[in-house]
Structure 1
Amino acid sequence: MDLQKKDNYTLVKPTEISIEEFYSSFLEEVKNFKKEHLVLHFSETFNTTIQEILLFLNIANDFRENGISFVIICKGIDIDDVPDEINIVPTLAEAIDILELDAIERDLMNI
């Protein structure tokens, strides 16, 4: 797993050969990210299915409950087929937009 720390988020790119292998590695490391906004970039690595995306549903819910953003970049997934609890977008630019929108939403909730 390749980690790139940015100003306000961490970009995670899988280096594993399968989503299942990445998921196992990610579960071991996710506790280290509990205070960081995460963007998982699958589009360059895997042809990901909706069932594989759903592996991350509980993690996405945990992040949301703790006021932290969790976004998955994945092309070829119909977002209408994915639960609203998972932020999934086709590009990094859109992932950054989601991070900004989440930050605005959190700010508005604290007013």
Structure 2
Amino acid sequence: MKVDQKGHTVTIKDTQGDFNGFVEKVTQQFKTYEKHNVIIDLSSDTELTENDLKVFLPLVKLQKKAKKSFVIVASDLDFNAVSDKLVVVPSLLEAHDIIEMEEIERDLGF
């Protein structure tokens, strides 16, 4: 697991290729990241399905309550089939753009 912090955003990348182990680590260490916007980078894992991403729903709820963003980067998915409670994008650039837009919305009171 690789963690990069830039400003108010933390990017967590799965480097092991073990999705379940990665989810467990992120969940255990989530208190460390709760004051930041979080990007989960799963772009290197090509075996993921839309259902696999649902394990992040409890963390998404925590982030929404804390008025922070939670974005998942994954490639080769049917983005229309992903739960609308999850924000899933195909690239890191789009993840940063989404976080920027959500921060503007929060600043404006939406």
Fold match by TM threshold 0.5: yes
| Aligned-pair CA distance for 1:47 | 2.4
Say if 1:3 and 1:13, in contact at 8 Å, map to a contact too.
yes
Q: How many residues align?
A: 110
Which 5+ residue runs of structure 2 have no aligned equivalent? Answer: none
Q: Report the identity percentage.
A: 28
Could you tell me which residue of structure 2 aligns to residue 71 of structure 1? Answer: 71
Give the CA RMSD over aligned residues: 1.4
Name the aligned partner's letter for residue 10 of structure 1: V
Greater helix share, 1 or 2? 1
Q: Secondary structure at the match of 2:4?
A: strand
Counterpart-to-counterpart distance in 2, 1:27 and 1:4: 17
Q: Residues 1-111 of structure 1: matches in 2 within 5 Å?
A: 1-109=1-109
| Gaps in structure 1 of 5+ consecutive residues | none
The alpha carbon displacement at 1:46 in A equals 4.6
Runs of 4+ in structure 1 deviating by more than 3 angstroms, as ranges, are: none
**CA distance in structure 1 between the aligned counterparts of 2:93 and 2:48, rounded to whole angstroms:** 19
Letter in 1 for 2:35: K
